[in-house]
Structures are given as structure tokens and as C-alpha cells.
Amino acid sequence: MTQPSVHQLYKCLERVGKGSYGSVYKGVHLPTGNVVALKIIDLDTEDDDVAAIQSEVAFLTQLRDGPNITQYYGCYLDGPRVWIAMELAQGGSILSLMKASPNGCLEEKYVVVVSREVLDALRFLHKNNTIHRDLKAANVLVSGTGKVMLCDFGVSAVLSTSSSKRNTFIGTPYWMAPEVAKAATHSSYDTKADIWSVGIMLYEMIKGAPPNSHIMPEKVVQLIPTMKPPRLAEGEASKELREFSLLCLNEVPSERLTAEDLLKHKWITKSAKVPTTILKDLILRYDAWAKTGDGSAVDPQEPFPWEQCVFA
């Protein structure tokens, strides 16, 4: 029996974002009418690595039952293009939602819920010996109901055992752990690299940009191994958040807490009963901001300048 073509299964609508591999579009699953996300990669026009695409599909297949992981529905070939059908996050990315927030920063009551949900996803990934390797606000999505989802697994890596380490130089520079930045000189790293990135993402959500965002990425990579870890000032966040941040941004990887242990920190546990539906406030604020024309000069799906470089 002939399998239906991707065009018989899905209709592609408007573009809603761009990942490290390919553009993402809103689409419709024609048999059911369900709205989905379609990541479409044109192998003829983009410098995409087929092996990396296969890797992302393999990750999505393996992790489809994980908490707060973008749901994967299928992969299809369409001539030189690859279509990857996934769950659609109607609210967009945390980075996009930040653009409509005061001074481009998120209030702590939202930051703690996002952090809690990201850590829950990382707990699952790390127990399955997987490193995300590209954690940042642009790769954290919010559904229309406020559900938080990690996306963009194009640069993720599976460790053969829980004690294994990687020495591949990959990721987005500003969120890169010191040991990852040193991987070019044969340093190694493990899942604790993601914990450092959580700390940088915290800084990003509170301050509106990652540390050193004014410096060119090539220079940042050289500086990260020797710079002191970034710190939030007393007036920028609560004492609990600042303490939590210190635990993530420890220069010694082995001294960073695991995702599971970080979920037990008092800053996180205080928010245990706060539902993710609170994040719908951010979506409503973004929609109101977009309608006023305040964002008319900005494409909400385009990255900030520091988001445009991913090293692999």
C-alpha cells in the first residue's frame, strides 16, 4: 500500500520561527484538522548537515514521552526537503515573549516557573544520558495553555553511559559552559554543561540578554574559560534566585548540582503550587503589545543579534 505524501497529510501555513536547522511553520494535519509545527529543511539551499537532521529526528523519537519535550509526530521526505512534524507552541518562545515585557526582561514570578519546568525536562534528559547543549530562551517554547517545552535538539548528544563525557565544541557561545568552550583544546564535559546554561538563561530572562552580549561571539568563546562567572546584583533579583544562580554558574562542573537536586532548592519549591497557566499572562501581554504597533519594527520570530551564531 502506497504511503500518503506529506502534502496529503499536512498543509503548511505561515512561518513562525527558525531553528538551528531549518525554518518552522504553522501547519495543519489534514486528516484531523489539528494544528502542528512543521520544521522544513531544504537540503539544496541550506548548509544543513544530513547527519545532524537525522540525529535530531532520532532524539525526538527517543524522547517523545519525556516531560516538557516538544512532541514529535513524524518525518517526511519531499524531494530535496525534509519535513519534521511536531507539537506547535502557540505562545512562541520565551525570547519572543520577553520582547513584550518591561525592558525586555521577565518578572521573577514567571522566571521561576519557566526554570522549574526546564529543570524537569533536563532531569528526564540527563537520566537518559542526553545533553541538550543549546539551552537558551529562544529554545524554550510555551504552548497556548502555558505548557513549557524544550525544543531544537539538532545539536544534542547522547552519552553512552551516565559517567561519559563529550569533547565536541558545539552550542551557542554566550550560554556555553567554560568546559565546553575549552573543548576545542580537548577538554571534556557532561550533563553539567546544561546546568551552566540554565544559569545563563536565568541571567538572560532577568536582564534581557545573556552576559557579554555586546561582544562578538568569536571573542566570547575565547573569554569564557578565563572570565569570572556572571552574577546578578542584589537589586536585580531575590536572594533565593541569586543563590540558585550561583549553584548553576559554578566554574567547577562537578560542584554544580544536578537538575534533580536543583528542583529541591527553596527558590524552586516555593513555586511548586504555581501552575504553568500563569505563563498565559505573557502570551496575552505579547498579543496586546503586538496589536499596539510597539513591535511593528521587529519581526518577533527573528533572533536578537547574539542569537544568530551557533558553533558546531
User: Which domain CATH number covers 268?
Assistant: 1.10.510.10
Do 67 and 124 belong to one domain?
A: no
Residue 27 has pLDDT above 80, yes or no: yes
Of 1-15, 158-172, 199-213, 281-295, give the lowest mean pLDDT range: 158-172
Please check the confidence at residue 45 and state whether its pLDDT lies above 70: no
Burial class (CB in 10 A: 0-12, 13-18, 19+), 291: exposed
Whether residues 170 and 48 fall in one domain: no
pTM: 0.84
Q: What is the pLDDT of the chain when averaged over all its residues?
A: 84
Q: In this structure, is residue 189 part of a structural domain?
A: yes
Pair 11, 149 in one domain: no
Q: What is the pLDDT of residue 94?
A: 96
Would you say residue 234 lies in a domain?
yes
Dihedral (Cα; 267, 270, 276, 279), 10-degree rounding: -60
Higher pLDDT, 11 or 60: 11
- Map residue 162 onto helix, strand or coil: coil
What is the pLDDT, as a whole number, of residue 112? Answer: 98
Instruction: Specify whether 190 is located in the same domain as 97.
Output: yes
162 shares a domain with 255: yes
Which range has the worst mean pLDDT, 19-23, 74-78, 182-186, 282-286?
182-186
The answer to whether residue 58 sits within a structural domain is yes
Answer yes or no: is 265 within a domain.
Answer: yes
State the cell numbers at 128.
537518559
Mean pLDDT computed over 162-172: 51
Average pLDDT of the residues in 61-83: 86
Last residue of a domain, one of 51, 86, 121: 86
User: For the chain, what is the domain count?
Assistant: 2
pLDDT digit string (tens) for 76-106?
A: 889 888 898 988 999 999 999 999 999 999 9
- The four Cα atoms 125, 272, 281, 154 give a dihedral, to 10 degrees, of 0
* Boundary (domain end) residue, out of 56, 86, 116: 86
Q: Which of 42, 69, 86 is the last residue of a domain?
A: 86
CB 15, CB 38: distance < 8 Å: no
Percentage of the chain with pLDDT > 70? 81
pLDDT of 298: 44
Q: What is the DSSP letter of 304?
A: P
- Weakest-pLDDT range from 20-24, 41-45, 211-215: 20-24
Same domain, 153 and 298: yes
pLDDT on residue 307: 52
Is 143 a member of any domain?
A: yes
Shared domain check, 68 and 30: yes
Q: What pLDDT does residue 152 have?
A: 73
- One domain, residues 221 and 202: yes
| Residue 1 forms part of a structural domain | no
Residues 131 and 195 in one domain: yes
Residue 305 above 60 pLDDT? no
Q: What range defines the domain where residue 66 resides?
A: 6-86
What pLDDT was estimated at residue 136?
A: 94
Catalytic positions, please?
134
Q: Is residue 312 part of a domain?
A: no
Same domain, 26 and 149: no
Which triple of cell numbers denotes residue 294? 510597539
Q: Are residues 57 and 106 in the same domain?
A: no
Contact in structure between 153 and 310 (CB atoms under 8 Å) = no
Q: Give yes or no: residues 219 and 279 share one domain.
A: yes
pLDDT at 261: 98
Longest dimension (CA), the chain: 65
Q: Look at residue 100 and tell me if it is in a domain.
A: yes
- Between 289 and 164, name the one with better pLDDT: 289
Q: Which CATH number fits the domain that encloses residue 62?
A: 3.30.200.20
